Structure 1
Amino acid sequence: MSSISEHKNIWTLNWAILSSLGLIWGGSFLGVEISLIGFGPITVAAGRVTMAALILLVYTCIFGDGLPRFSSKTDKRVWVHCLGMALFTNAMPFSLLSWGQQTVTSGFAGISMALVPLFVLPLSHKFVPSEELSKAKVIGFLFGFLGVVLLIGGEKIFINQSFTPTLLLAQIACVIASCCYAIGTVITKLCPPVSTVSYASCGLMLASFMLIPIALWFEGWPKSPDGLAIMGVVYLALFPTAIATILLTVLIRRAGPSFLSLVNYQVPIWAVVIGVAVLGETLPGHFLIALSIILGGLFVSQFRSFRVSS
Structure 2
Amino acid sequence: MTASSTTTPALAKEVALLAVLATLWGASYTFIRIGVETIPPITFIAARTLIAGGLLVAIIKMRGLSLPKDPAIWKRFFIQACINSVIPFTLIAWAEQTVNAGLATILNSTTPIFAFLLTVLITRHEAVTMRKLLGTIAGVIGISLIIGMEAFQGVGKELVAQLAIVAATISYAAAAIFGRGFKGLDPMMPAAGSMICGAVILIPVSLVVDQPWTIAPSADSLLALLGLSVFSTALAFVIYFRLIHTLGSVSTTSQAYLRVPIGVGIGVIFLGETLASTALTGLVFVVIGVAAMTFPSRKKTVPV
TM range (shorter): over 0.9
Instruction: Answer yes or no: is 1:273 the counterpart of 2:268.
Output: no
**Letter paired with 2:10:** I
Cα distance in 2 for partners of 1:109, 1:64 equals: 38
Q: Is residue 2:18 matched to residue 1:23?
A: no
* Amino acid across the alignment from 2:165: C
Q: How does 1:1-310 map to 2 (within 5 A)?
A: 1=1, 3-63=3-63, 65-70=65-70, 76=72, 78-128=73-123, 130-155=125-150, 162-163=153-154, 165-222=156-213, 223-303=215-295, 305-308=296-299
| Conservation of the 8 A alpha-carbon contact between 2:254 and 2:291 | no
Listed one character per residue, the Cα deviations across residues 53-90 of structure 1 (whole Å, up to 9, x for unaligned) are 0100111122153212307xxxx1x3332122100111
1:126 Cα offset (Å)? 4.0
- Report Cα offsets for 1:250-293 as digits up to 9, x if no partner: 11111111220221111111111011111000121111111111
2:151–2:159 contact (8 Å) kept in structure 1: no
With 255-264 and 130-139 compared, the bigger mean Cα shift is at 130-139
Which TM-score applies when normalising by structure 1? 0.91
Q: Tell whether the 8 Å contact from 2:37 to 2:97 is kept in structure 1 after alignment.
A: no
Amino acid at match of 1:131: E
Distance 1:156-1:88 versus aligned 2 partners, 3 A rule:
closer
1:209 CA displacement: 0.7
Offset, 1:21: 0.2
Structure 2 counterpart of 1:111, one-letter code? I
Tell me, in whole angstroms, the C-alpha distance in 2 between the residues paired with 1:146 and 1:190.
32
What is the root-mean-square deviation in Å for CA atoms of aligned residues? 2.0
TM-score by length of 2: 0.92
For 1:29 and 1:309, locate their aligned partners in 2 and report how far apart those are by CA, in whole Å.
Answer: 39
Distance 1:287 1:29, change over 3 A: same
Unmatched 5+ residue regions in structure 1?
A: none
CA distance in 2, matches of 1:199, 1:175: 24
Question: Which amino acid counterpart does residue 32 of structure 1 have in structure 2?
Answer: I
Identity of aligned residues (%): 27
Moved over 6 A (4+): none
Displacement after TM superposition at 1:129 (Å): 5.3
Distance in 2 (alpha carbons) for counterparts of 1:54 and 1:220: 22
